[in-house]
């Protein structure tokens, strides 16, 4: 299953105005909850996991975060994407004591470990593509962002 198959227009939020990483995770988690992808335990579990195992990733020019939690909180696989109006601070995955400014959040709700690894691999390909990540940041709406990500899968 490709990353694009885990995303739909309702799971992409552009222009998020949250000023805190936990608030941004809550907003994206609530969208996954409303759309039937996760259980009501998902949001708190994702925030708790973020505190213990940070997910901020330094990109070529733009930083991202990939918060997630255990598959016991997931009903159906999906990925919510939030493009923030202003960057928010996340601790780095590879150096948890360091904080970085993140512009895009990919909130993963995935049940199968192999699918989780494949989604992470595809997201890492995106974050290493400066042009694609910039295009996502300036995407006007969810349809445009889906088209941008869909080009990666071809």
pLDDT in tens, 76-108: 999 999 999 999 999 999 999 999 999 999 999
What CATH topology corresponds to 3-152? Mannitol-specific EII; Chain A (3.40.930)
What gap in Å lies between CA 25 and CA 151, rounded to an integer? Answer: 26
Domain ranges of the chain: 3-152
Tens of pLDDT, residues 3-62: 999 999 999 999 999 999 999 999 999 999 999 999 999 999 999 999 999 999 999 999
pLDDT score for 154: 45
What gap in Å lies between CA 23 and CA 13, rounded to an integer? Answer: 13
Task: Please report, in angstroms and rounded to a whole number, the separation of the first and last CA atoms in the chain.
Answer: 13
Which pTM was predicted?
0.95
Number of helices (H), then strands (E), in the chain: 5, 5
Q: Which residues of 4-141 form beta strands (DSSP E)? A: 12-16, 56-57, 64-65, 78-91, 99-109
pLDDT over 80 at 152, yes or no: no
pLDDT score for 20: 95
pLDDT over 60 at 125, yes or no: yes
Query: Is residue 79 classed exposed, middle or buried when 0-12, 13-18 and 19+ CB atoms within 10 A define those classes?
Result: buried
pLDDT score for 1: 77
Output Rg (C-alpha) for the chain, integer angstroms. Answer: 14
């Amino acid at each position: 299953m490709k990353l694009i198959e885990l995303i739909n227009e309702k799971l992409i939020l552009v222009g998020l105005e949250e000023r805190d990483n936990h608030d941004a995770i809550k907003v994206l988690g609530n969208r996954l909850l409303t759309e039937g992808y996760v259980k009501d335990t998902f949001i708190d579990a994702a925030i708790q996991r973020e505190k213990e195992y940070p997910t901020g990733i330094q990109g070529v020019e733009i930083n991202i975060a990939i918060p997630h939690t255990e598959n016991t909180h997931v009903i159906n696989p999906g990925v919510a994407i939030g493009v923030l109006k202003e960057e928010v601070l996340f601790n780095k995955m590879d150096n948890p004591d360091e904080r970085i400014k993140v512009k895009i959040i990919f909130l993963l709700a995935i049940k199968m470990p192999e699918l989780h690894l494949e989604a992470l691999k595809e997201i890492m390909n995106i974050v290493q593509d400066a042009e694609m990540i910039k295009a996502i940041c300036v995407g006007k709406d969810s349809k445009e962002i889906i088209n941008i990500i869909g080009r990666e899968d071809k």
